[in-house]
C-alpha cells in the first residue's frame, strides 16, 4: 500500500467517524441535567423538550414540584428518545417522547399532575393517551389540579 492510498483511507475513516460523532442523538442516552418539568439535557449537551406536555415555568405554581418529580424520574438515568414528526422546536431543543424501559415519562409527568397535556401539531402521535392521563390526574386532584 502506498503512502497516498494509506492517507486517503485514513482521511475517509476520520471523516466517517466525525460524521457519526456529530449526529443528533437517537436511541438510548443519559440525562445529565433536568431543567424543569418538561425539559432535560442529555449527553452531548442536547436540550430535549418533552412532546405533548407543558409543565409550569419558573415562578409558577407547582414549578419546583414538577421539576423535582422529573428529576426523580430521569436524572442521571439512561433514557430512550422517540421522535414524532418535528425534530426541533423554535428554541433549537430536540422534541422527543422519553422512556425509561417501558415507562413513558411524558405520560407519567402528566399522570402525576405535573404538566398539562397540550397538543403541538404535527407532533400528536400519543396525544389521546396524554389527554387521558391528564383527565385521570385532574379527577384525582393531583399536583396542578389541587
pLDDT single digits (tens) 81-119: 999 999 999 999 999 999 999 999 999 999 999 999 999
Within 13 Å, how many C-alpha atoms sit on residue 46's CB side? 21
**Residue 48, in any domain of the structure:** yes
Q: Does the bond joining 126 to the residue before it have cis omega, within 30 degrees of 0?
A: no
- Catalytic one of 82, 93, 96, 134: 93
Contact indicator for 121, 128 with CB cutoff of 8 Å: no
pLDDT tens sequence across 5-55:
555 454 444 444 444 444 445 579 999 999 999 999 999 999 999 999 999
Task: Report pLDDT for 26.
Answer: 55
- Clarify whether 4 is annotated catalytic: no
**Residue 127, in any domain of the structure:** yes
- Catalytic one of 43, 57, 111, 146: 57
- Clarify whether 49 is annotated catalytic: yes
Average the pLDDT over 49-75 and give the result: 98
Q: Scanning the structure block, which residue is given the C-alpha cell 439512561?
A: 78
Structural domain boundaries enclosing 115: 25-145
> Cell triple for residue 50?
418533552
Average the pLDDT over 126-144 and give the result: 98
Number of domains in the chain: 1
- 107: domain CATH number? 2.40.50.90
Residues 6 or more apart whose Cβ sits within 8 Å of residue 116: 53, 54, 55, 110, 134, 144
**Residue 12, in any domain of the structure:** no
- Clarify whether 111 is annotated catalytic: no
Residues 6 or more apart whose Cβ sits within 8 Å of residue 130: 52, 53, 106, 107, 110, 117
**Residue 110, in any domain of the structure:** yes
Average the pLDDT over 63-88 and give the result: 98
pLDDT at 56 over 80: yes
**Residue 46, in any domain of the structure:** yes
- Catalytic one of 33, 49, 83, 111: 49
**Residue 11, in any domain of the structure:** no
Amino acid at each position: 500500500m502506498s503512502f497516498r492510498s494509506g492517507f486517503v483511507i485514513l482521511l475517509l475513516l476520520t471523516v466517517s467517524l466525525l460524521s457519526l460523532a456529530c449526529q443528533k442523538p437517537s436511541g438510548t442516552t443519559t440525562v445529565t441535567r433536568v431543567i424543569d418539568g418538561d425539559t432535560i439535557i442529555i449527553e452531548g449537551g442536547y436540550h430535549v423538550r418533552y412532546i405533548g406536555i407543558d409543565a409550569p415555568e419558573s415562578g409558577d405554581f407547582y414549578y419546583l414540584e414538577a421539576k423535582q418529580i422529573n428529576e426523580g424520574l430521569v436524572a442521571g438515568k439512561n433514557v430512550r428518545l422517540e421522535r414524532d414528526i418535528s425534530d426541533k422546536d423554535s428554541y433549537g431543543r430536540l422534541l422527543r417522547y422519553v422512556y425509561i424501559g417501558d415507562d413513558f415519562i411524558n405520560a407519567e409527568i402528566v399522570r402525576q399532575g405535573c404538566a398539562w397535556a397540550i397538543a403541538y401539531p404535527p407532533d400528536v402521535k400519543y396525544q389521546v393517551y396524554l389527554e387521558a392521563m391528564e383527565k385521570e390526574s385532574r379527577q384525582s386532584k393531583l399536583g396542578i389540579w389541587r
